[in-house]
Amino acid sequence: MDEMHTDSKPTENEDVKIWRYMDFTKFVSLLDTRALFFARADKLGDPFEGSISRVAFRSRAEKEEKEKQEFKKHGWHLDSFEKSFSYEIVRCTAISSWHINEDESPAMWKIYLKSDKGIAIQSTMKRLKTSLGNNREILIDSVKYVDYEKDINIGVDSIDRFFHKRKIFEHEREVRAVITILNKHPIVPKPIIDNGIYISVNLDTLIEKIYVAPTCPKWLTGLVKSISKKYNLEKPVLQSELDKQPIY
């Protein structure tokens, strides 16, 4: 296995509830593989993933001048190296995304489900961390929403940049588990992740409750209970009450 690289990053309130919304087939896959899928960063649909702010880019130019001679010894052009390094880091990083909320989110149900047969796993940041075996290679923290035109702090290190997103995504209230897997090249990383990677997880520790989409047919709740039992997962399975009729 090639090297796994990370920098230390403290988590915030580890008891906060987090949610993972998925369709029924992905839920069954989770039970069957007992592994979380971490998607490669550049496959998440946001072109800003892993990028730095414009002001940070300008600040970096001062540092580049001092390093120019060292790079020339290897026959590399500094500008192309910097761009290549940042781009390759994105393709070497995989992410599992979760949503922070004390309760279910109607918006998240709509965003992540393509049918009414959806599942939401309710966990906590602490459960997520522990379920991954407290793997020091995996960083877990909430995403900060920033201005990529002005914020100089984005891109301080190669991992920190994956915990920042544009302010237009603030509604996601995202928590991420992030891992960067590098090859053994001394300077420029090369991607060894395809679309993503599966990382083993302790489901009993990870999952606190299982919710079935508010619009799903009643039989699906029973099926989720049955399948969970077959995979020796004894967790509460609840039908979402977001569409419950009000009383006047």
- Judge whether 127 and 21 are in contact, CB under 8 Å: no
* 247 belongs to a structural domain: no
**Is residue 72 over pLDDT 90?**
no
Q: What angle do CA 82, 41, 13 make, to 5 degrees?
A: 110
Range of the domain at 99: 4-239
pLDDT at 191: 62
**Which has the minimum average pLDDT: 121-125, 127-131, 143-147, 204-208?**
143-147
pLDDT digits (tens, 9 = 90+) for 82-137: 556 677 788 889 999 999 999 999 889 888 877 778 999 999 999 999 999 977 78
Residue 166 φ/ψ, nearest 5 degrees: -70, 155
Q: Is residue 47 part of a domain?
A: yes
Write down the residue that tokens 């047919």 correspond to: 217
Question: What is residue 77's predicted lDDT score, i.e. its pLDDT?
Answer: 54
Tell whether 248 is covered by a domain. Answer: no
pTM: 0.82
Indicate whether 137 belongs to any domain.
yes
Q: What is the pLDDT of residue 63?
A: 62
Radius of gyration of the CA atoms of the chain, in A: 21
Helices 54-73 and 78-91, interaxial angle, to 10°? 110
Domains held by the chain: number = 1
Give pLDDT, residue 95.
97
Is the distance from CB of 49 to CB of 41 less than 8 angstroms? yes
Mean residue pLDDT of the chain comes to 83
Q: Is residue 212 part of a domain?
A: yes
Q: Is residue 61 part of a domain?
A: yes
Q: How many CB atoms lie within 10 A of CB 89?
A: 21
Owner of token pair 């690289």: 5
On whether residue 160 sits in a domain, the answer given is yes
Confidence of residue 11 (pLDDT cuts 50, 70, 90): very low
Contacts of 192 (CB under 8 A, 6+ apart): 2, 92, 181, 183
Mean pLDDT in residue range 56-79: 63
The verdict on residue 191 lying in a domain is yes
pLDDT of residue 4: 41
More confident of the two residues 75 and 129: 129
High-pLDDT (> 70) share of the chain, %: 77
Q: Which residue has the higher pLDDT, 247 or 171?
A: 171
The β-bridge relationship of strands 35-40 and 4-5 is unpaired
